[in-house]
Amino acid sequence: MNYVFSDKVSGLQASAIREILKFCAFPDVISFAAGNPAPEAFPTKVLAELSDSVMQTDPILALQYNITEGYTPLRDALKSWMGSRHCFEAGADDLIITSGAQQANELACKVLCNEGDTLICESPSFIGSLNAFRSYHVNLVGVEMEEDGIRLDLLEQALKDAKKAKLIYLIPNFQNPTGRTMSWEKRKAVYALAQKYNAVILEDNPYGDLRFAGEDIPAIKTLDTDGRVIYTGTFSKILAPGLRVGYVSAAEPIIQKIIVCKQVADVHTNIWAQVLCERFLATQNIEQHLAGLQKIYRHKCNLMLEGMEQHFSRKITWTKPEGGLFIWATLPQGSDMMGFCKRAVSEYKIAVVPGTAFSIRENDPSDSFRLNFSTPTDEQIVRGIEILGNMTRELLDK
């Protein structure tokens, strides 16, 4: 039978990350292609104890339907935590629990964007969100980045040129895929441009609590005086991605529309996982837990950067992130980046993600590739970077 797919999905393709991950199933491949938290970062014992406690004391709570907005004690805990750690207050009716931040971003686009509306984002950007946006047939416009975030002149030009610029999608902290962080000056300037051109900012912050160097920078949401910033976060990187618990904070009218759309999508987020997250916040020293994660990622990132400095060709440049999970490496301009990535995994057994996986438009060129330092072991980082470094010198230093 010949299947005719809907217009919403016919143009979507499998993530290049997922395609490369197929090679990672082979035991001799060292993968720098994933984006998973470090296995040693999971608080498995605590989660097991909390889960057992829930099932012993209140099993029906964890097994029964619940409200779409999310488990009320968790929502209250998140509002308090965001006020104390992220310095903005979430009101009584402007936060909903989602199935990961991915769903939060998708629902934000769904409730605000019509087909043909313009959604502006950093270029490159996170493939998961890009595919979600594409499914609504928005006009995706990518804006080039600098070391301290999105280029302001190009952002303003994009806002001027757009017929209907509804959303500006940003990952200000340790951006995926580049690892870059937007400066405080640029955050203020971006918010001012959003006000000037009447756009809404979608601030995606999955990595913000994983800062292991430098100084914390306040969220764009802290500047929000007129309800134009939608802030999304997740427990995936600080607790466990398998729980699929995220959240979105926004003006009440936006949240009310997201609630209706979520009811259609999945009724509510896994309540058992929500209860675990709430009890983790209630019973554990969250700052101590985060400090432990930061120590793990500081070590892994430094190990990879030191190896790159020692083994990589000097013709390659790379970012030096202050947090998060990723390093963005760039080949000389005009290089066959895709060929480089394919050769790395097929001949050298090292998997990296080609930069085109994060392109805004299908044919956008890229000379870069993404490296993940959180998932591999220390031994794999040391060995894998040496192998990859030898490859770069063989290809570029002839």
What percentage of the chain carries pLDDT values higher than 90? 85
Domain hosting residue 93, numbered range: 44-283
Asked whether the beta carbons of 234 and 247 are under 8 A apart, the reply is yes
What is the total count of domains within the chain?
Answer: 2
Contacts of 267 (CB under 8 A, 6+ apart): 65, 68
pTM of the predicted protein model? 0.94
**Contact present, 211 and 323 (Cβ < 8 Å):** yes
Same domain, 51 and 119: yes
Residue 17 sits in a domain whose CATH number is 3.90.1150.10
212-224 tens-digit pLDDT: 999 999 999 999 9
Backbone phi and psi for residue 356, each to the nearest 5 degrees, phi listed first: -65, -20
CATH of the domain at 224: 3.40.640.10
Alpha carbon distance 231, 218 (integer Å): 12
Does the pLDDT of residue 276 top 60, yes or no?
A: yes
- Of 223, 253, 283, which residue sits at a domain end? 283
Same domain, 56 and 162: yes
The one-character DSSP state at 199 is: -
216 shares a domain with 250: yes
Provide the pLDDT for residue 92. 46
> Could you tell me if 268 and 380 lie in one domain?
no
Q: In the chain, what's the furthest Cα-to-Cα distance?
A: 67
Domain boundary among 244, 261, 283: 283
CA distance 248 to 44: 26
Note whether 82 and 175 are same-domain residues. Answer: yes
Query: Does residue 1 lie within any of the structural domains?
Result: no
- Given pLDDT bands bounded at 50, 70 and 90, which one contains residue 288? very high
In a shared domain, residues 343 and 200: no
Same domain, yes or no: 345 and 209: no
Of 283, 306, 328, at which residue does a domain stop? 283
pLDDT tens digits, one per residue of 175-207 = 999 999 999 999 999 999 999 999 999 999 999
Distances (CA, A) of 120 to 161, 261, 279: 11, 22, 37
The pLDDT tens digits for 341-355 are 999 998 999 999 999
In-domain check, residue 383: yes
**What does the DSSP 8-state code read for residue 23?**
G
Residues 266 and 333 in one domain: no
Is the pLDDT confidence value at 59 over 60?
A: yes
Question: Does residue 99 sit in the same domain as residue 183?
Answer: yes
Q: Are strands 350-351 and 353-354 parallel, antiparallel or unpaired?
A: unpaired
pLDDT at res. 18: 59
- Claim to verify: residue 73 and residue 98 sit in the same structural domain: yes
Q: Find, among 207, 174, 250, the residue nearest to 37 by Cα.
A: 207
